[in-house]
């Protein structure tokens, strides 16, 4: 009966499918992810009060952030070339959307958000193909942490925390530095994906030529 209903109401079935994916993503995120951006924000605020507080300034972070996410973007291409799985393709597209947004070209900011929504829909549509990667706590944790941290930076950008004491004297430092940390999480995610993809024998790894003497055993 369920199959008959799905055939009669394909839109309803699709909506249920994607809602199920969203629920699984929220429930699958480790608990430590949720307070992480706020703990990092507090840490950035403390650093701002120290002699190295200059490192949190916006001009500095506008140099550091593109470098970090740029490294992640280049590495993501290599990871997909080596592993060649659907998850690594999604990851490469995700990282490049972030990288292009960081370059501040016209339309890249809203374009990045649209790309992330489309990638989430695509991932949900083919979620069975990415289960082998999402079963790893390190991948789930880094992916959830980076996305949640990016979201919190937008809350700072829209000044939802302006009720905090002295907010306008430190919000730019926290927002920019927190975004750089989110980029670092993405870079770590790419590195971990390379490691796990190799362990799982991604198509690139399986197609790699055997080294001389490997058949000797």
Residue appearing with tokens 């924000």: 41
Long-range contacts of 111-114 (CB under 8 A, 24+ apart): none
Mean pLDDT to the nearest integer, 108-115: 80
The C-alpha atoms of residue 65 and residue 101 are separated, in whole angstroms, by 11
User: 117-152: per-residue pLDDT in tens?
Assistant: 999 999 998 989 999 999 999 999 999 999 999 999
Tell me if 180 sits within 8 A of 153, measured CB to CB.
no
Least confident window among 17-21, 119-123, 130-134, 180-184 = 17-21
Dig out the tokens for 108 from the structure.
Answer: 């890249």
**What residues does each domain of the chain span?**
42-203
Mean pLDDT to the nearest integer, 30-51: 97
Mean pLDDT to the nearest integer, 166-170: 95
Structure pTM?
0.85
């Amino acid at each position: 009966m369920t199959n008959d209903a799905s055939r009669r109401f394909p839109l309803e079935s699709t909506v249920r499918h994607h809602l199920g994916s969203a629920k699984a993503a929220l429930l699958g995120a480790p608990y430590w992810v949720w307070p992480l951006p706020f703990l990092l924000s507090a840490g950035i605020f403390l650093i701002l009060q120290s002699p190295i507080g200059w490192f949190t300034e916006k001009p500095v972070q506008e140099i550091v952030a593109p470098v970090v996410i740029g490294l992640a973007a280049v590495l993501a291409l290599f990871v997909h070339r080596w592993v060649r799985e659907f998850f690594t393709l999604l990851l490469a597209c995700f990282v490049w959307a972030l990288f292009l947004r960081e370059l501040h070209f016209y339309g890249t900011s809203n374009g990045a958000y649209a790309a992330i929504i489309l990638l989430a829909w695509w991932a949900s549509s083919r979620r069975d193909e990415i289960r082998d990667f999402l079963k790893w706590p390190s991948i789930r944790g880094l992916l959830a942490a980076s996305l949640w941290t990016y979201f919190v930076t937008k809350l700072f950008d829209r000044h939802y925390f302006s009720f905090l004491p002295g907010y306008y004297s430190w919000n730019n430092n926290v927002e920019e530095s927190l975004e750089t940390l989110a980029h670092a999480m993405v870079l770590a995610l790419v590195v971990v994906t390379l490691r796990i993809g190799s362990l799982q024998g991604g198509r690139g790894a399986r197609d790699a030529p055997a080294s001389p003497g490997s058949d000797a055993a």
